[in-house]
Amino acid sequence: MRENDFWNSDSSDEGRNPRTKSGKGGKKKKIRDTVDARPGYIESLSQRLEPVVISTPKDSHHYIIKGPKKVIVFNHKKFDARFQLNERKGTEADVAYIDSTFTRLGWDVQVLDDQTSAEITDVISKIQSSRETEKLAAIAIFILSHGEDNGTVFAYDSMYRVDNDIILKLTADKCPFLAGKPKLIFVQACQGQETDPGSRIRRRHTSQDSASSYKIPNFADFLIFQASFWNHYSFRSSDTGSWFIQALCSKINLSDETDTLLDTLLLVSRSVSLEKESNVPNRPNLHQKKQTPLLYSTMLRKLYLKDPLDKPIRGLISGSVPALNTNPVDSDSKGSGRQKDCLIM
């Protein structure tokens, strides 16, 4: 990552009036307001890009996502033999859920299987540079793979970082065509080797039951939703897909057009956290374990996935998509815990 250039701060000025300081001959000179960190380098006016034109007004409380919307699924099932990773059986079900759910919502879904790290970099570079990206109203990227800690996931031939190789490439300064537009990142992968046994609780009984152009932060308008908490396993069924993607697609399908995306994702977290528990009696390290998704957001507005006039999108997905919430689960970790005899509770 390129280092930022910083203005030098003069510690000898601490405690003085932040507006002025004395120069030669007693003259006053303006200095910068006191800040909690040294301000970074600001590019000259001649270097700045022209404002990006978007559909959403500055003062709008929700994103306007009329127009093309794109889903890219990096589906990693097989890996180079040197990693000694099992195939991610059941990932086809996750892909089917995603495809069905977002197609019904009017998104264009592109599935990319077993991409190498170079191929993933090429896809992201094309998103950055293609004029077709400018036409998009929103983009969602799904990463289905094995993973480790620090946001590291596996491509077919090597490892890559969700933050460095995906998110940082799509910020407003690196990808101006997506500036001001929702960028949704969903990660179905373990974040490490730890498991969560959960804790039992009970309820306490009580007696009372608009400018023409404006600046935004480069990291604005991101939503990152990952299957498990830092350093923890996520579980996946060899037949019906992962707990996380099952819950995500199910809750989106059942949601109302008045539900915001964040409302829906709260239900996803609750579903995975409270309704799922692993059952592997012969593997104590994986038996009766829990999982909770982790959400990061720099979204500036509400996002509604459903058009109020689009009634057919209501209801569950059907047809060739497997039934939800049944059959064994595996783990999306590099570790040895990928089980086929772990029943969803």
Tens of pLDDT along 102-118? Answer: 999 999 999 999 999 99
Between β-strands 183-188 and 138-144, what pairing exists: parallel, antiparallel or unpaired? Answer: parallel
Task: Select which of 146, 175, 249, 342 is catalytic.
Answer: 146
- Please count the residues of the chain: 345
Which of 66-80, 170-184, 297-311, 320-334 comes out lowest in average pLDDT? 320-334
Calculate what percentage of the chain has a pLDDT beyond 90.
57
- What is the rounded CA–CA span in Å between residue 173 and residue 215? 11
Output the pTM of the full model.
Answer: 0.78
Side chain identity, residue 228: S
Task: Select which of 76, 175, 190, 342 is catalytic.
Answer: 190
Tell me, yes or no, if 190 is annotated catalytic.
yes
Checking phi first, is residue 49 left (phi over 0); if not, alpha (psi -120 to 50) or beta?
beta
Q: What is the pLDDT of residues 255-265, one digit of tens each?
A: 999 999 999 99
Tell me, yes or no, if 232 is annotated catalytic.
no
Instruction: Write down the domain spans for the chain.
Output: 68-196+217-343
> What confidence score (pLDDT) does residue 51 get?
77
Q: What is the pLDDT of residues 195-251, one digit of tens each?
A: 888 787 676 655 554 456 778 899 999 999 999 999 898 999 888 999 999 999 999
CB burial class (10 A; 0-12, 13-18, 19+) of residue 131? exposed
- Cβ partners under 8 Å of residue 291, min gap 6: 196, 227, 228, 232, 233, 234, 235, 243, 244, 272, 273, 276
CATH of segment(s) 68-196+217-343: 3.40.50.1460
Q: What are phi and psi of 24, to 5 degrees?
A: -65, 145
CB 172 within 8 A of CB 49: no
> What confidence score (pLDDT) does residue 201 get?
66
> What confidence score (pLDDT) does residue 303 get?
97
Q: What are phi and psi of 93, to 5 degrees?
A: -65, -40
